[in-house]
Amino acid sequence: MNFGKVKAVFFIAVFFLVLALVVNAALGLDAKKHPAQEEEPEQPAQEEIIPQPVQETPVPIPSWAPAPTPPPANRPATNPTPQQQPQQQQQQQNPPATAPTPAPTPAPRPAGQNLGSGGFRSATGAGLELVCDWSAVSAADNKAEVTLTVSIESSTIYLNEWQDCIGLRVGDQTGTMTQPALSYEGGRTTHSVGSRTFTVSLAGGSSLPVAVEWHYNGTYGGVQIDVVECGGTINLG
């Protein structure tokens, strides 16, 4: 083989090897200056979430519950304001005062009309009793004239005259009588004392109290008697 050809081939091989090293070194230097950027992995596209309106589920009304009553027309149902509530509570706590009903005034009666009669008697149990008979007639201006007739019931009795010892009352009217002088022996009998008429108003009603008191202040039949009295309520028809 020719030595010159071998030398030429060897030279060419060395040249290509050196060239390859130079190229490889140049590529490595460029890779250091401009490192390859790693591609970020592609992120999956996010779907846009749109909020959906919440649908209210109606609460079923029991069959036994009454149906709600709608407010009256042109008058919306509203709760009273805080200023109205105290006023309503005060009105409930303090109801309006009502005026008392006046008592009916009895119709006037014709003068001289008989309004009734009757009597009362005491109950001493000693045999000495006080008796009062009454009678009444109508008078003018819605008034009445009530006459009391007083008598004493006894057997044997001795009395001295005593001024104003017998007290009388008819309604709001009062008066007195004098104890008469008596000297009687015998069985039981009635002794008249006298009578007196009182004019009373009927504006307050037709029921009137009547009372008679005899201040005896003595002994009769062995019993000490201070006061003998009788009376009650009369109703004038």
Domains along the sequence of the chain with CATH: 114-235 (2.60.40)
Q: What is the residue type of 76? A: P
Of 205, 151, 160, the residue nearest 182 (C-alpha) = 160
DSSP per position, 137-162? EEETTTEEEEEEEEEEEESSEEE--E
Report the residue count for the chain: 237
DSSP state of 94: S
CB 234 within 8 A of CB 205: no
Each residue's pLDDT tens digit in the chain (237 positions)? 556 666 777 778 778 787 777 777 767 665 555 555 455 555 555 555 555 544 444 444 444 444 444 445 444 444 445 455 555 555 566 656 677 776 655 566 678 899 999 999 999 999 999 999 999 999 999 999 999 999 999 999 999 999 999 999 999 999 999 999 999 999 999 999 999 999 999 988 899 999 999 999 999 999 999 999 999 999 997
C-alpha 136/C-alpha 197 separation (Å) is 9
CB 162 within 8 A of CB 129: no
C-alpha 227/C-alpha 217 separation (Å) is 7
- Walk across the sheet containing 223-235 and list its strands: 173-179, 162-170, 207-220, 223-235
